Chain A
């Protein structure tokens, strides 16, 4: 009853903001416990993430990665599918991107390689998501289980390929050969230097723009196409959707293909943009954190963008924190965990009380107005 009278901005903006604040308050207690002033720590994190050009570059570099994996999870959520396989889909997408850079990249410049890498990386990621999708739609194998298992299969497959096929002979590290320089995606600072604008060097590269394009694409796709409508229908009630003539199997497969494709794009930022070679385990948990990003972002592209920025801040600010204070790097993981806990798992803890408070405070004015 009260739900109807609370304006949207309370649920969309106020509630997440209070949750994040609460997570930071609990983190502050942690910092007091390890003898670090929480205010100083917050300053260091803020300065490190947004205070200077290189730091901003790193923050946005991480943000780019989170946008891709966050969007992947968000799209699947709209059809009621919990895609935990972002990690594996991004990994296999990386195989696609890497193979394009290793072959086509040898003789073509980046602006030709990039679109091809987008297509192939997307197709590889989508293909990896397709099998669990098909099994879910046709056989009812639960997608949470199958996508998780496909993460392991992806890890084993990539380990095999890197060790047996892609690794150059004389190296000990499990990584492919370095891509030809011409195929590297220009870094932001290189790109802006062309227009006479100087920036500090950082891993931030052009794929950031592509991530923003993907946000717009997801918004259009989910809310302004027939497929999007069908996906949302299946998400809210599969039986009703089927009864209304929506083909369940087709929609589940379509959703997961798009989801896998977005996860596959992750590799553009990391491989073609920064590492310039396929490395073992290059996804490094970004696929899993994408779930938290989608949860926090309420599965909306703008929310995902903001949540990605928050996690980018936590990653870069956290690195800065462990750099400045020499604190155990796991403290940073605890910090991220608290944010996920309060924004994801405990999301509904404060909802009733905040809504009631809001109504108490503003009900009066409403009555007066009436």
Chain B
């Protein structure tokens, strides 16, 4: 047994040192929701993995853990096979990345949506509040009832960050706006409950709102349906969801996780990968508002110019959007 272990570790060592010399071997570990979750993980697959495979001709190695123990196992197996950089998708990976990164100091790890402070970990976080500010301002300008709504998924700081940015944008565009906010629930199932989303949307419509921004994963689909039924507008999130209910979707606040993952693999390939915190916002084109053929008819030229102007102001630092997570309050 002892001999076997020594041989194995020697092989692992040989493999990893070989890998350091050879080209990058990119890898990704998805969250337990799976890579086809129609949301966050799928964005990494569609806009990151697939594109990277095609552009670079390098296959990104993928792993989908089935249970908690496999998060760590997956990272460790990939690292011991010499894969680097390894992207871990989602804040649930924090403790696993922290542990495995310490065991493999020569492997590059990248975690999305969470900060892990290790010398070989890159943490990618997004300025969701900036993008939310833009769609908030657009909503306030478009609203005929001077009332806008927000439906969040699970009540966690990350979602409050979306809400806070949106509220600021709305109040910036129209200081007298009425703002209504609801969270769907306090467990992860709150991200997959379209029926409840539809209920919350109807209740907000009855309070006078005519535009609702949903930052709620799958729950959002119920919100969009309710908006369509009521003849009101909705705003999508994370991916460009304008196509979901064309004519109803005013715009979407896109968060380009796939592009961010692509970026980290490209850096690894070119030897430019750096540890530390990478904050991606409007400036880096990592969050944005979506304008395409599905909502072009809803956005006038003036409106477009107005939102683009705000975007330029935020990038230039003329408008500063308060980040909920900086002090866990939404006082702006």
A interface vs B, CB < 8 Å? 52-53, 58, 61, 159-160, 163-164, 169-170, 172-174, 178, 197-200, 203, 270, 274-275, 277, 279-280, 282, 284, 315, 318-319, 322-323, 326, 329, 332
Contacts and interface: CB of A to CB of B under 8 A. Distances in A.
Nearest to A329: B64
B158 A58 contact: no
Nearest to A330: B34
Contact of A319 (B5, B66, B91, B158): B66
B68 A284 contact: yes
B92 interface: yes
Contacts, number: 68
B95 interface: yes
B326 interface: no
The 9 closest A-B pairs by CB, nearest first: A163-B186, A172-B156, A159-B187, A284-B67, A329-B64, A172-B91, A173-B92, A203-B69, A172-B158
Interface of B: 1-2, 4-5, 8, 34, 61-70, 73-74, 77, 91-92, 94-95, 114, 156-158, 186-188, 328
B62 A329 contact: no
B69 A61 contact: yes
Given A53-B5, A172-B157, A284-B68, A323 B74 contact: yes
Give the interface centre of B5, B65, B68, B158 by most chain A CB atoms within 10 Å: B68
B187 A163 contact: yes
Contact of A322 (B63, B69, B94, B157): B63
22 contacts: A52-B8, A53-B5, A58-B69, A61-B69, A163-B186, A172-B91, A172-B158, A173-B91, A174-B187, A174-B188, A197-B2, A198-B2, A199-B1, A199-B5, A200-B5, A274-B68, A275-B68, A284-B68, A318-B66, A319-B66, A319-B74, A329-B66
A178 B69 contact: no
Given A163-B186, A172-B91, A323 B63 contact: yes
A178 B63 contact: no
A68 to B, nearest CB: 15
Contacts of B92: 173
Contacts of B66: 284, 315, 318-319, 329, 332
Contacts of A203: 69
B68 A323 contact: no
Contacts of A173: 91-92, 94
Contacts of B114: 172
A280 B65 CA distance: 16
A163 B183 CA distance: 14
A178 B77 contact: no
Given A274-B69, A280-B188, A319-B66, A178 B95 contact: yes
Contacts of A159: 186-187
Given A53-B5, A200-B8, A322-B63, 11 more contacts: A52-B8, A163-B186, A174-B187, A178-B95, A197-B2, A198-B5, A203-B69, A277-B95, A280-B187, A319-B73, A323-B63
